[in-house]
Structure 1
């Protein structure tokens, strides 16, 4: 099927040109130029015929020769063209090549495997778990022991003793509410989402509401607060001198119905933990003891992936990353 009916007369002109070129090439076959014409003319003609008459080849060729960042398609249910185009939703940062004829399965495979579409940067927002990692006051110590050694046991193994609030972790509502909802029962979609980072550094004691946050924070986001306090992780005063959120700020993120708030400090508040309870009552998770948030300050868009263990517990240690 032709990509365009206007290509029909062009095909006859192409055939006439090919016959003429073959005649010239045959007449000059003893010369290098003549032999080149005899070889290249059929190849060029085959390419043009496929380009104008074979839709998948046409789409694939245009995806290389005429790159575009848009993806539209005019394809009917039976595979024929239709004047009513449809569009296919694409993920952010996907670079599709091709223009209006990008409809073939081959084209879609080619486009989604485009090298530029796969270029992402990962930023680790988690502290490394290691032996002696400082626990929250009153919690058990973290121990990581090399329990089996290859030279002695012919294999390696490690044994970890850790509570669920050590290092980078996620607090679930069961932590401070009388609920029997373990973290493993919360839908996985809650732990992945569009991220936004807010710079609240500067040594302030309270993180208060600002009108500008009304625009910065969107529904269903994962909100990260960069205080700069994370640089003191493992140092004296880390668990006692950190800033706290005001209730007005907490009510803002409740109103925005965010999925999770992430902090580069050990807690959003102190005893009696009213901020914790306010967020938990509205099903907002809390990720604590993050790091490297400064690397996101000037990033316009990123995704947060904050996966806890699949564990029957109130909270969980977690590996949290940002994907840019």
Structure 2
């Protein structure tokens, strides 16, 4: 079974996104490469080896009043080159492109990010606007990219993956658009269970 994890972009979403951009509520670089499901390239090249990785999905949707920590996941199951996905439920609670979607979303702790870097995972995926909120977003993405890890933001349908995978590993296909010179690259992400 294949499940598309990419946000569906509609004309309404695109118009809303550009209106937020014009109002200064999102960074101006978001005009193209940062719309929908994408990763922040952070001056790094996405290896084609990353197009197929084993995935593990962690359900952290119950965490809202604090950062997501290493102790909140089954960290011992993580292996080198894994694609680690976090289901926070944020995209289900706040429609993509709405002003609320980009504000006050859950975030991974720096300790958890460092743990994933030390485990040498290949990809980190979230169903929200970033692994850290606005103030620490770029720094966290750069830290991961400097260690050859890409953060994929705005993943959809993680609830379906949670239901179908039932804690098992699955294959994740990730194909970024082949654009040069953009700080973010839109991508299609599909889970195969």
Give TM-score, length-normalised by structure 2: 0.82
The number of aligned residues is 175
| Equivalent position of 1:74 in the other structure | none
Structure 1 residue matching 2:186: 3-state secondary structure: strand
Shift of 1:291: 0.7
**Corresponding residue for 2:117?**
254
Distance 2:33 2:141 in 1: 16
Q: For residues 165 and 212 of structure 1, what CA distance do their matches in structure 2 show?
A: 28
Q: Does residue 238 of the first structure (1) align with residue 101 of the second (2)? A: yes
CA contact (8 A) 1:191 1:259 kept: no
* Partner in structure 1 of residue 150 of structure 2: 285
Extract unaligned runs of 5+ from structure 2: none
C-alpha distance in structure 2 between counterparts of 1:309 and 1:169, whole Å: 9
For the pair shown, which has the larger CA radius of gyration, 1 or 2? 1
Give the structure 2 partner of residue 209 of structure 1.
70
Kindly indicate whether the alpha-carbon contact (under 8 Å) linking 2:68 and 2:108 is maintained by their aligned counterparts in 1: yes
Q: 2:126 aligns with which of 239, 251, 263?
A: 263
Displacement after TM superposition at 1:139 (Å): 3.2
Q: CA-atom RMSD, angstroms?
A: 2.0
State how far apart, in whole Å, the 1-side matches of 2:29 and 2:131 are: 21
CA distance in 2, matches of 1:309, 1:212: 31
Give structure 1 regions of 4+ aligned residues with deviation exceeding 4 angstroms. none
Contact 1:139 1:163 in 2 (8 A): no
> What residue in structure 2 maps to residue 73 of structure 1?
none
Aligned to 2:12: 132
Pairing 1:123–2:3 present: yes
Aligned residues of 1:171 and 1:316 also touching (Cα < 8 A): yes
Unaligned runs of 5+ in 1: 1-120, 142-161, 175-180
Instruction: Give the match's secondary structure for 1:132.
Output: helix
- Residues 165 and 283 (structure 1), Cα distance of their counterparts in 2 relative to 1, 3 Å cut: same
1:295 aligns with 2:160: yes
- Of 175, 181, 187 in structure 2, the residue corresponding to residue 307 of structure 1 is 175
| Structure 1 position 234, deviation (Å) | 3.2
Residue 199 of structure 1, aligned match among 38, 42, 59? 59
Cα distance in 2, alignment partners of residues 296 and 262 from structure 1: 13
Contact 1:173 1:283 in 2 (8 A): no
